[in-house]
Amino acid sequence: MKLARAILPPAWATLIALGVASALIIAVGGAPLAVYRLLVAGTWGNGYGIGQVLFKTTPLIFTGLAVSLALRAGLFNIGAEGQLTVGAFATALVGAHAAPLPAVVAVPLALVAGAAGGALVGAIAGALKAWRGAHEVINTIMLNFIVRAVMVGLGAHFFEREQIHTTPIAASAQLPRLSNWIAQLHGSAANAALFFAIAVAIGAWWLVERTRTGFRLRAVGASADAAATSGISVPRVQLFALALSGAVAGLVGANFVLGYKHYYEDGFSGGIGYIGIAVAVLGGARPLGVVLAALLFGTLSQGALAVNAVVPKEIVDVLTAVIIFSVAAAAPAVRRRIALASIAEAARA
Amino acid sequence: MIATLFASLFTAGFAAAVIRITVPYALAALGGTLSERSGVINIALEGLLLIGAFTATLGAYFGHSAMAGVIGGVAGGAAFGALYALLVVTLRGDQIVCGVALNLLADGLTRFLMKATFDSSSNSPRIDAWGDVGTRLIVLTVALVALFHVVVYKTPFGLRLRAVGEHPEAAASLGVRPARIRWVALVVAGGLAGLGGAWLAADQRQFVAGMSNGRGYIALAAMIFGAWRPVRAAAACLLCGLAEALQIALQAAGVGVPGWAVQMLPYVLTMITLAGFIGRSHAPRALGRLDRS
């Protein structure tokens, strides 16, 4: 039953999404199978493609985990986009001043700055939720736009002359490319941030499932009233959850800033904060699910470029949206059906 | 410098700029008010505006008239409103998740269809069929705000709408069907936001990918700032329009108020309002809750 609950919605969603995508491809005069073959060939079909998929998967693991952690506490963090922007910016600023430091200090320091930046933005929504009861969905959306505006102001001070990026970071703060070790990935931007993302996923699992803090988080997510009755401070857990969520989103800079471009660039995100919501929903807000879902969306994101010559690459956005719809709409239906089945089972026993 | 600035604020041009900015906000905020009053959070306003702008462009382009454009915008918005209703009312999908997905769908689908129709995923050709439909749309917007004030507060439908948004179980026990009221509210909300999109398309005389550019979220903010009431929400939109037009005027006059500070103002105000620091703004009680009936 547990397995069915985990597998059915994503499987269902993928089928529906493939159906819609096929219809759209036929509508513009393409052949669905040929497009899918092209998509696979351009992603998992060669070393460069695989590397690029991994590169695009990495930030989605962070944002997917960020949204998931808040979800486990019953909170919706739509603000990963703003949080990761501030985080990556902080990572770049610290990285740029890290020249005298050895890598073992510079890299963690830059990442801590990123987490702190993201946590700060998350904590604003968290504090307003915890003590003023203000809806975190609206506040995180508002914060996304506030961050966007503030970055225009900050950019005027911190960007290089006539550029839309910051000063490059010191060599000691850079993360190595995976192609240094695996020659086949040559040319792709995949870097060591991938391992860090997976480590954070394992850490998130451990925190949520194996610690007292995680238990409180889940208790508040399951029922805030029941948690409060049993002595858990709901406001504190809510503040913690959104700050933690923001911190994880703020780590995104590891991939783009430390591992790829080596500076913060205006608009580098391209909406990965929002795709993080899709990742979390498809992954069932569980770390393993998030990593797998991130891999799927990373593949689609890279695959979009591979099919662009035949069908407009935006088909991938449509595909993503349909997957989210289907999971969101199928989840309650599946839940109901499984609940009915288990009642029937209990009755038989 | 200050004198020229002041002089520029009391011109017809400035008033026109304020109204130009306000109209799409007001229409989307009106749609948001309706759907949230029925208990359904509408993050999808942004996508509804965008879809409306696109279908309006298609209407005006293939129908060779502004009328066809306006109808196209309203119909496209309403169709997406119906999709949203199907997902969150009938299938009981999560409102936030589906709203976010609808925005993503609107962005992707419009670019995809742009490429298929006009062979460019970013810009449609210039459409002259729009003519000077703007003035009539302004009058229509004012009329719609007044109309929905009456609908929400003075009609049996409005009473049911508010009842469903506050306490769906109680409403259901009196024979009101929450699902049906919410369907109507969401489809009408989609149509209103679609009309807002038609305004954007008519104003720029073409469709540009992503042209809603966060306006749906400003409308959402204005709706909250306006305490989920049609007239107050429209007034909040006017305030946003005024602030934006002022910012443009300030920039043109070379006065040193940074644009980004003015830009974030509506969002900061919304957060302050939501936190209950100024005035009171109560959300409909059943907002976002899954309908069990």
Give residue B225's pLDDT band: very low, low, confident or very high (50, 70, 90). confident
On whether the CB atoms of residues A82 and A144 are closer than 8 A, the answer is yes
pLDDT (average), residues A177-205: 95
Q: Name the least confident of A39-43, A173-177, A336-340, B247-251.
A: A336-340
For range B244-269, the mean pLDDT: 81
Higher pLDDT, A7 or A159: A159
Stretch A222-248: mean pLDDT: 95
Confidence class of residue B10 from pLDDT cuts 50, 70 and 90? Answer: confident
Name the minimum distance, in Å, from the CA of B56 to any CA of chain A. 20
Contact B41, B155 (CB under 8 A): no
User: Chain B within 8 Å of A135 (Cβ-Cβ)?
Assistant: yes
CA–CA min distance A328, chain B (Å) = 5
Residue range A232-254: average pLDDT?
Answer: 97
Rounded to an integer, the average pLDDT of A218-246 is 95
Of residues A235 and A5, more confidence is placed in: A235
Q: Which CATH class is domain B2-274?
A: mainly alpha
* Distance separating alpha carbons of residues B287 and A274, to the nearest angstrom: 22
Query: Which chain A residues are within 8 Å of B109, Cβ to Cβ?
Result: 314, 317-318, 321
B6 or B59, greater pLDDT: B59
- Confirm whether A234 is domain-assigned: yes
Does the pLDDT at position A197 exceed 60?
A: yes
Report pLDDT for B293: 38
CA-based torsion, A319, A321, A325, A331: positive or negative: positive
Question: What is the mean pLDDT of the segment spanning A221-225?
Answer: 90
For residue B260, give the chain A residue with the closest CA: A149
Domain containing residue A158? 59-295
The HSE-up count of residue B227 (CA atoms within 13 Å, CB side) is: 8
A207-221, A313-327, B159-173 — which is least confidently predicted? A313-327
Evaluate whether residue A328 is within a structural domain: no
Instruction: Give the pLDDT confidence of B102-119 residue by residue, as tens digits.
Output: 999 999 999 999 998 998
Do residues B214 and B264 make contact, with C-beta atoms less than 8 angstroms apart?
Answer: no
Residue A213 resides in a domain: yes
Average pLDDT over residues A321-337: 75
| pLDDT score recorded for residue B244 | 86
Separation between Cα atoms, residue A270 and residue A313, nearest integer Å: 14
pLDDT tens digits, residue range B183-193? 999 999 999 99
Adjacent-strand bridge partners of B208? B123
Average of per-residue pLDDT across B244-252: 82
Look at B111 and A317 and tell me if their CB atoms are within 8 Å.
yes
Q: How far apart are CA A328 and CA B177, in angstroms?
A: 23
Is the separation of the CB atoms in B47 and B101 below 8 Å?
no
Nearest to A328 among B94, B220, B271 (CB): B94
Rounded CA-CA distance A245/A66 in Å is 4
Distance from C-alpha of A73 to C-alpha of A312, rounded to nearest angstrom? 39
- Based on the structure, what is the number of domains in chain A? 1
Residue A17 domain-assigned (yes or no): no
Write down the mean pLDDT value for chain A. Answer: 91
Residues 6+ apart with CB under 8 A from A153: B258, B260, B261
Q: Are A207 and A214 in contact (CB under 8 A)?
A: yes
Both tokens of A17, joined, read 């999404």
pLDDT over 90, % of chain B: 68
Place of tokens 């991994």: A54
Cβ distance A142 to B100 less than 8 Å, yes or no, reads: no
Side-chain-facing half-sphere of A207: CA atoms under 13 Å:
21
Of residues A90 and B254, the one with the higher pLDDT is A90
Q: Nearest Cα to A20, choosing from A316, A305, A283? A: A316
Kindly report the backbone phi and psi dihedral angles of residue B44, in degrees, each rounded to the nearest multiple of 5, phi listed first: -80, 0
Question: What pLDDT was estimated at residue A346?
Answer: 56
Is residue A108 assigned to a domain?
yes
Residues with Cβ within 8 Å of B261's Cβ and at least 6 positions away in sequence, in order, are A149, A153
Can you give the pLDDT at residue B292? Answer: 45
Check pLDDT > 50 for residue B61.
yes
- The pLDDT score that the predictor gives to residue A8 is 76
DSSP A285-333: T-HHHHHHHHHHHHHHHHHHHHHTTTS-TTHHHHHHHHHHHHHHHHHHH
| Domain membership flag for residue A333 | no
Instruction: List, for residues B66-100, the tens digit of each pLDDT value.
Output: 999 999 999 999 999 999 999 999 988 889 889 99
Question: Which residues have C-beta within 8 Å of that of residue B273, sequence separation ≥ 6?
Answer: B224, B225, B279, B281
Q: Which of A150-159, B1-10, B176-185 has the lowest mean pLDDT?
A: B1-10
Percent of residues in chain B assigned helix, strand, coil, to nearest 5: 75, 0, 25
Q: Is residue A144 part of a domain?
A: yes
Tell me the C-alpha distance between A268 and A134, whole Å: 30
Each residue's pLDDT tens digit, A263-314:
999 999 988 999 999 999 889 899 999 999 999 999 999 999 999 888 888 9
